[in-house]
Amino acid sequence: MLQRTSISNLQAALQDRSQTAVGIVEDSLDRIDRIDSSIHAFREIYAERALSKAHEIDRLIATGNPIPALAGVPVAIKDNIVTDFGTTTCGSRMLEHFQSPYRATVVDRLEHAGAIIIGKTNCDEFAMGSSTEHCAFGPTHNPWARNRVPGGSSGGSAAAIAAGLCPISLGSDTGGSIRQPAAMCGVVGVKPSYGRVSRNGLVAFGSSFDQIGPFANTVEDAAIVLGVLAGEDPHDSTCASRHVPDYLEKLDQPVADLRIGVPREFLSDHNDVSVKTAVQNAIATYASLGAEIVDIELPLTAYGIATYYVIAPAEASSNLARFDGVRYGLRAELSGDDDLFELYAKSRSQGFGPEVQRRVMLGTYVLSAGYYDAFYARALKTRRLIKQEFDRAFEQCHAIIGPTSPFPAFEIGATQDPISMYQCDIYTTNTSIAGICGMSIPCGFSDIDGQRLPIGLQVQCQAFDEATMLRVAKMFESATTYHAETVSHDGTS
């Protein structure tokens, strides 16, 4: 029942008593038990707790009172969002047995809306990666092709939706970690504007970039969940005190009165041919819907990767300094001659994987004396220029579209060079740098070696204009069928 099932269909089934919350959760748990061993989307399952919550929802429905927006909907949570049940490992040996004493704001809001959290999903260690290969507990496999990555770092959350293990999941996006796996798994993924959703309870990677957002089967479902998550939080000083609109109110409004910008830099010959073709077809679809297509320029696109990989690792080196083997996390065993420095060095070497160590060292380097002005200060100046570039672009158009990733999902183990992995995010990092909102929606398929692999279209809008972004995405979804295609159990469409 759960594969490509919408929230509205689940709610209707609960209301007319053709389905129970317990039945829905049991279906989800059964699919996980049958399918996830070959995907590894989940790291931890909360079956007993989920069924208990489902019984509570069924009792509420039996009273005849109105049910909340996400009543009975199974939800998966990325393993860097803390809960006061289970463990939160961030995909790292450093936190392998960590149990949080509190829960994230988004977890509270989901459960207040009736959602049922069924488990934690696999992710790149501390959200650092673009493939969900960099996890201490093993990689996640793409449901469309088990020998390929699901994208990252929120690959487990995206794969869980694509495989029909649950209808909703949460991820975090620092430089593309929701949008890129959504593209590679053929699902909807939303990165809200910076400050739209509380970061309280999200284990920090890059504090000026990180945002929590939903994965879903449809744009409407993503809009419903975003409406639940968004809004001011007194526990997060970076969460904006701005009104949260009803994201469903104008969702089905035609795009004929909108100008949609297409940056010429996004149609690069470096894109895979299938990606370029799918995006050009998407542009033609929007034109057929009456939208005005506007050619725009974002010349700083090429500088986004370099800018991001200076600022984000610098913030990571500061955020991860707390994992020292003293207060919590992995503590290395010492010999009699080891001092405090050896405790720090051994604990961090044993607790952090290669990619995390690489980014911590890079971040520490660019912040060190003699290099701060040459790298970090210059990157901050470039960040401001990128933000200004988007501001000018949005004077010409209401939304910007282009590819989410320059290529479809690549094979597991194919990117031994970290620079080539970083290039996956060339179209997503600047969105995060500018603090605007972006999302990925399915827009086509590629055929590589007989494998049918999804392609994603990225839609971007000005900060806090998620309503327009969702509307633009929904109109494309309504005119196409890519979002409705499903994965078979053996990893073929």
How many angstroms separate the CA atoms of 454 and 456, rounded?
Answer: 7
| Length of the chain measured in residues | 493
Q: Is 146 helix (H, G, I), strand (E, B) or coil?
A: coil
Beta pairing class for 188-191 and 259-263: unpaired
Single-letter residue type at 91: G
Q: Is 123 helix (H, G, I), strand (E, B) or coil?
A: coil
DSSP-assigned states of every residue in 3-34: TT--HHHHHHHHHTTSS-HHHHHHHHHHHHHH
Query: Using an 8 Å Cβ cutoff, are 281 and 370 in contact?
Result: no
110 φ/ψ angles, rounded to the nearest 5 degrees: -60, -50
φ/ψ region of 129 (left if φ > 0, alpha if ψ in -120 to 50, else beta) reads left
**Residue 476 structure tokens:** 């494309």
Question: Hey, which residues are catalytic here?
Answer: 78, 153, 177
408 φ/ψ angles, rounded to the nearest 5 degrees: -70, 180
**Residue 53 structure tokens:** 């919550």
Which of 242, 183, 182, 179 minimizes the C-alpha distance to 211? 179
Query: Using an 8 Å Cβ cutoff, are 362 and 370 in contact?
Result: no
Query: Using an 8 Å Cβ cutoff, are 486 and 456 in contact?
Result: no
Burial code of 265-279, b = ≥16 C-beta within 10 A, e = fewer? bbbbeebbebbbebb
How many angstroms separate the CA atoms of 308 and 375, rounded?
Answer: 11
